[in-house]
Every structure is written in structure tokens, then in C-alpha cells.
Amino acid sequence: MGSLFGSRLSCVANVTLFGHWPEQIAALQQGLTVIQPDGRESTAHLRVTNDLNQVPPADIALILVKSHQTTRAASQAAQVLRRKGIAITLQNGLGNLEKVAEAVGPDRAVQGVTAQGATILEPGRLRHAGEGMTYLAKSPSLEQRVVDVARLFNQAGLTTEVIDNADSVIWGKLAINAGINPLTALLEVPNGTLAQDEKLRRLMSAAASEVAQVAQARGIQLPFNDISLKTTEVSQATASNRSSMLQDMSRAAPTEIEAICGAVVRFGQSLGIPTPINKFLLWAIKTKEAGLLSLSLEGLQAELAKV
């Protein structure tokens, strides 16, 4: 996602990408190939570094790392942000804003959520899997700066809207992530496979429905009425996309399961709401991350029958 946003924003602003993946950094220094949803290819030439001393003072820091890297990334953002700069999290899961605010100050931290889809095919080669809305939450002390960022994003072709409260869209995305990401990672399949099989559709819906129940108990209304229909629509609309969790699993990188299903389970426990499907998915992904689990659809169903 950092490469996607960086390539778009570099057309309208001075952008520096900062990260720690050596192969990706080396490839990006030669140019980023972006495959658009319609199949067209373009090349973006980006400034990229793994040396924080080479990052110039920034007005905006986009936090697009995995949730387990948030604390480190937020601390690094704090070191390069100008006094009136802002840090924006567009990450999956819950708890990221609080970590960013702790590092840069609550008056400089902004919550956002994006439905853009992207897959790294190999270092330096990105497939833009689908356009989606980006939302930025208003903040009384930051309203004009957030509006200015939204304008910049829209100029870059990243359709963005400023909203009063991001809770609804954050939990809506969380529900979709919980429904799609763990199942695709466990079965090692693209998103569209989940919509093609009735049993997988039911599992996807069950995981997402638990999120909706927890959100409702917290007084949060999701931005759509039918969670089962929505998760199916998203899996179909992003049929060829490999979810971020599957991408992480494929390269033996830590996943965001704790910030997605783990967060649902913890909130559910605090509210007295059972979340057995999310609890199972949390266990299954962590077990597979440890190299102790390999599941077919039949094996997945057999494990779930024990829940």
C-alpha cells in the first residue's frame, strides 16, 4: 500500500518512501512498475531509503506498515515531522491510532481507512487490484490540515472524503478483513475463491457477522446493512487480489491477525459476546505462522467442527 500511495502522490507532491525491506528498496530505486486494474502498466520513479537521516522534514507522514510495526514507524515519523506536521494511519485493524498518537502527540495524529487494493507481485512490481474510497476523520484542532490532505489525495487520483467519525468505516473494514483475510491466508487462495464456494461464503459471513455484533454492542453502526452480502461483494470485486495476510504468510512475515481477529476476540470477551469463529481464525493463523498447520478446505471444516 505504501508503494501504491507513494506512486500516486509523487505526481503531485515531493514524496520519500521509508522502509526496511532490502529487496523492495533496491528494486524501487530502479523504478516501480504498476499494473493498473485494466491491465495497463506504468513506471513510477520514487525516492526511497532505509536511512531515516535521508528523509527530509515532512508535513505529512503516512503510516502504512503492518500493525505490529506501528510503534516503531510512529516513533520514526515523530523524528521527521515538522512542528505542524501530521501523521495519518491508513492501516488494517484496531489500535494503530493510539500508538501513533503516543509517538507524535494526539494533536498530530489522524485516523484514516482506505479500501484501495494492492498486491506486491515481486519486489518493484505492484498490481493495483482495485480502486476504493479513502476516508480521513475530522479532528477539531486539525480540520483544515485534514481537508488539505484530502484535497491532495484527490488530486493524486485517490478518491478521498473527510468524515466526522471514522469508527463506522473502521469497523466496517475490520469486519471485511476478518471475513476475507484469515481464510485466504489459511487456504492460500485469492479473495475471489471465497465467493465461489458456498461453505467458504458461510464461514466468511460468520466471521464478519461476529465483528458486526461486537460493533453493535459498542454502539457502532457499520456503513452497510447486510454484512454477508458486503463481504461477498468485496471478495468478488477483488477476486484476483491476494489479501495482505496471504502476502505476509507467503513470505513468512508476521501477519496482522492480532489487530484483526485478536482485537475482535478481546472486545468480545470484554462485552460478554462470544466470537468463536474469530477465536478459531486467530488460533489457526498463529499456528500456521509457527509452521505447525496446513489446511485444505476439508481440514478447515473438520477443525471448525471442533469449535
198 burial level (CB within 10 Å; 0-12, 13-18, 19+): exposed
Query: Exposed, middle or buried: residue 54 (CB in 10 Å: 0-12, 13-18, 19+)?
Result: exposed
In Å, what is the CA distance from 47 to each residue of 13, 31, 36? 12, 9, 21
Residues 6+ apart with CB under 8 A from 278: 178, 207, 210, 211, 261, 264, 265, 268
3-state secondary structure of 21: coil
Q: Which of 84, 99, 138, 173 is catalytic?
A: 173
What is the rounded radius of gyration, in angstroms, for the C-alpha atoms of the chain?
Answer: 19
Q: Three-state SS for 191?
A: coil
Judge residue 216's burial from the number of C-beta atoms within 10 Å of its C-beta, 0-12 exposed, 13-18 middle, 19 or more buried. middle
Residue 173 appears among annotated catalytic residues: yes
Distance of CA 307 to the CA centre of its chain: 28
Residue 120, helix vs strand vs coil = strand
Nearest to 158 by CA among 77, 88, 209, 221: 88
Residue 15 and residue 96: Cα distance in Å, rounded? Answer: 22
- For the CA atoms of 266, 211, 192, 129, the dihedral, rounded to the nearest 10 degrees, stands at -80
Catalytic residues: 173
